Amino acid sequence: MKKMFLIAGVTNYLIVAFLNAFTDLGHKIIIQNSVFKVYDGTTQIILTAIVNALILLPFILAFSPAGFLADRFPKNSIMKHSALLAVAITLLITLCYYQGWFEAAFSMTFLLALQSAIYGPAKYGYIKELTGDENLSAGNAALQAVTTAAILLGIIFYTVLFEELLQDKFNSKEDILQTIAPLGWLLVLGSVVEYILASKLPNTMKQKSTKRFVFSRYIKGFYFKKNITMLKRKKEVFEAIIALSLFWSISQVVLAIFGEYVKSEIGVTNTIFVQGVMALSVVGIIVGSIMAANFSTYYINSGFSALSAIGIFILLLLIPITTSSTFLGAEFILFGLFSGFLIVPLNSKIQKLSPNVHLGTILAGNNFIQTLFMFTFLMLTTLFAYFGTNAKVLFFIMAFVAFYLAYMLFKRYLVMSFWALCEIFFRTRYKFRYFGLENIPHDGAVLLLGNHISWIDWFVLQLPIERRIGYLIDKDIYSKKLLKPIFKLGSLIPISNRASKDSFIETSKRLKNGKIVAIFPEGEISKSSDVAKFYRGYQLIQRDEAVIVPFYIDGIFGSLFARHKEGEKRCFFKKREITVCFGEPILEEISADKLREKVIYLKRN
């Protein structure tokens, strides 16, 4: 995070993103609160769903144009002109407030959302151009945190001012708008400041585009078909888009039905309470986004998205049976926390795996599919409400959708989810520091050789490396019934003193296929912190073009997961610092003694 903020333009960009979300949210809250004050039950759910639909519809209609603009022109220019458009729209909204034109103000939600639809692909594409791949998770986390902070503050700010100005002195929805009309000038002010700051953003477009947009092709659906095909080229990108679409659809429905739930089940009619509880989820998103970035220090840790989907599923079962305001607040904080862990890795994956030349189109397609899902879910919510389905039942339906989302993500990221669980556990006990990671090739065959100091060396080595490492493991341990399916899933290679030939053949095969394999030449966990004798079994492996990367693990001897000196007390509560040093790649053959010397050298240096 700190490294990212040193990049010129990042702070300015995040303020622009904050103001855009804060202003958009302000008008939506004013309209939603007006609906909440005037209508009840089914009508309230339907009108709230329609408000959300008006926000979503422009993202469907502007799919192709928004993607084209983000790829054709500098993204900072798109953001600047979108902010200028927002100034004009907020002026019209303010006029509607003062005139008491409720239907017109209601409809203006569509125009403000259209501005956001054009702005969106440029905003997310700008992260990759501004921060680069190495800071992509941090950039997405910062953007998510800032945007959700804007939503939280916007909900609190505009709801409190709404209640203070209104004070329940109204006879109609027109009265409400005229009473709170001064809030419109705050929307205008936010748009003006956003425009000024957006005008100062640096141009990060490295190569000019010559794309042309033909309106007739847009009308005939040519661009739509082409762009949808582009989205499906990389299966992982498309699956991440679908997963995000399901998540945002669940969130939209929860926001649409929660007001009716607390009104009918708990008897609360104060908008500050309703919006405040939902706003707590934003606090969770901010914390979850920052934590997701910290857990993605070395690469995008997609396993957390699957784990978070399970958490969301459980919470959606709990919320509709909770009547305590305290517990509801805690559940919404957790809902937001899991949301942050889900959103940041998936958004980062989409941006990283998408080619720069088509990034704007893919991000616009991401918005399009997400919006299509959300729009469909809201229409279904409206339909269910029309036929008398209450909020409780709708919560349970969303829980079922969340269960499917979890299944989908586990299917894709099952192995990564296991490593994510391990990271959560071990980070509570250890702090990890790595040196020489640049010595490990990003592709091609690698044989990692080093000391064996603990029972968790397999995790210590894997933590900073995105590529999955294959380990040799004692055959007796590998054959245990309960553990064998897990070891198979982790692609471990069983070995024994009596039958090592097959293990070395399998290792050679993996190296030939460009994999990365780790071996501990000491043959067993060290009985002291010294590097024991290295055995030469690794020399029997055919490694062809595979490079050897020596490593030394330090700081874990004497801990809970390692041996310790006799008579020495273990400290179970002290957080240890583990240091791992990777040496320079070795291409030539190397004896066991010389390899040991290199590992010892890493220890000393």
pLDDT score recorded for residue 579: 93
pLDDT score recorded for residue 573: 61
Task: Give whole-number Cα distances, 202 to 190, 479, 501, in Å.
Answer: 21, 59, 59
CATH 3.40.50.1000 is held by the domain 4-201+216-427: no
Dihedral sign for Cα atoms in the order 226, 228, 231, 234: negative
Q: For residue 435, is pLDDT > 80?
A: yes
Secondary structure (3-state) at 548? strand
pLDDT score recorded for residue 208: 61
531 confidence band (pLDDT: 50, 70, 90): confident
The secondary structure element, H or E, covering residue 551 is strand 547-554
pLDDT in tens, 107-138: 888 888 888 888 888 888 888 878 877 778 88
Q: For residue 570, is pLDDT > 60?
A: no
More confident residue, 378 or 213: 378
**Torsions phi, psi for 493 (to 5 deg):** -115, 115
**Neighbour count for residue 23 (Cβ, 10 Å):** 30
214 Ramachandran zone, left/alpha/beta (phi>0; psi -120 to 50)? beta
595 confidence band (pLDDT: 50, 70, 90): very high
Which class would CATH give 430-604?
alpha beta
Average pLDDT (65-72) is 79
Percent of the chain at pLDDT > 90 equals 25
Number of residues that make up the chain: 605
pLDDT score recorded for residue 261: 78
Task: Give whole-number Cα distances, 218 to 260, 283, 406, 481, in Å.
Answer: 40, 40, 36, 59
Given 3-state DSSP classes, what are the helix, strand and coil percentages for the chain, each rounded to the nearest 5? 70, 5, 25
Secondary structure (3-state) at 450? strand
Average pLDDT (272-298) is 83
Q: For residue 315, is pLDDT > 90?
A: yes
pLDDT in tens, 155-167: 778 888 888 888 7
Residue 434 amino acid letter? Y
pLDDT in tens, 130-149: 887 777 888 888 888 888 78
**464 Cβ partners below 8 Å, 6+ apart?**
297, 298, 432, 434, 437, 580
338 confidence band (pLDDT: 50, 70, 90): very high
State pTM to two decimals.
0.75
pLDDT score recorded for residue 244: 92
More confident residue, 538 or 490: 538
Tokens 């919470």 — which residue?
A: 315
pLDDT in tens, 82-104: 889 999 999 999 999 898 888 88
For residue 301, what is the DSSP state?
-
pLDDT score recorded for residue 409: 95
pLDDT score recorded for residue 177: 84
Q: Which of 90, 24, 77 is nearest to 199 (CA)?
A: 77
Q: For residue 311, is pLDDT > 70?
A: yes
- Rounded CA-CA distance 563/292 in Å is 33
More confident residue, 57 or 80: 80
Secondary structure (3-state) at 469? strand
Q: For residue 462, is pLDDT > 70?
A: yes
564 confidence band (pLDDT: 50, 70, 90): low
Asked whether 496 and 477 are in contact (CB, 8 A), the reply is no
Secondary structure (3-state) at 364? helix
Supply 123's token pair. Answer: 């905003």
CA angle 479, 481, 483 (to 5 degrees): 80
- In this structure, of 174-178, 232-236, 259-263, the range with the lowest mean pLDDT score is 259-263
324 confidence band (pLDDT: 50, 70, 90): confident
pLDDT in tens, 360-390: 778 777 878 887 888 788 788 878 877 777 8
- Rounded CA-CA distance 159/140 in Å is 28
Q: Which of 499, 498, 544, 543 is nearest to 517 (CA)?
A: 543
For the chain, give every domain's residue range. 4-201+216-427, 430-604
First to last CA, the chain: 28
pLDDT score recorded for residue 209: 60
Average pLDDT (32-58) is 76
The neighbouring-strand residues paired with 554 are 579
Q: For residue 565, is pLDDT > 90?
A: no
Q: For residue 64, is pLDDT > 80?
A: no
pLDDT score recorded for residue 313: 96
C-alpha count within 13 angstroms, C-beta hemisphere, residue 202: 11
- In this structure, of 225-229, 507-511, 515-519, the range with the lowest mean pLDDT score is 225-229
Tokens 């956003």 — which residue?
A: 194
**593 Cβ partners below 8 Å, 6+ apart?**
534
Asked whether 362 and 237 are in contact (CB, 8 A), the reply is yes
Task: Give whole-number Cα distances, 370 to 117, 246, 374, 456, 601, in Å.
Answer: 12, 7, 6, 40, 53
Q: Which of 123, 206, 159 is nearest to 37 (CA)?
A: 159
- Rounded CA-CA distance 124/99 in Å is 37
Asked whether 112 and 92 are in contact (CB, 8 A), the reply is no
Task: Give whole-number Cα distances, 236 to 122, 239, 240, 535, in Å.
Answer: 22, 5, 6, 42
pLDDT score recorded for residue 258: 83
C-alpha count within 13 angstroms, C-beta hemisphere, residue 572: 0
Q: For residue 437, is pLDDT > 60?
A: yes
Q: Mean pLDDT in the chain?
A: 84
Q: For residue 521, is pLDDT > 60?
A: yes
Q: For residue 569, is pLDDT > 60?
A: no
pLDDT score recorded for residue 551: 95
**436 Cβ partners below 8 Å, 6+ apart?**
581, 582, 583, 584
Average pLDDT (198-219) is 71
Q: For residue 346, is pLDDT > 70?
A: yes
Asked whether 33 and 162 are in contact (CB, 8 A), the reply is yes
- Rounded CA-CA distance 256/46 in Å is 9
**Neighbour count for residue 233 (Cβ, 10 Å):** 13
- Rounded CA-CA distance 315/321 in Å is 10
For the ranges 156-160, 268-272, 295-299, 596-600, the maximum mean pLDDT occurs at 596-600
Q: What is the DSSP string of 520-544?
A: -TT-S--SSSS--PPPGGGGGS--T
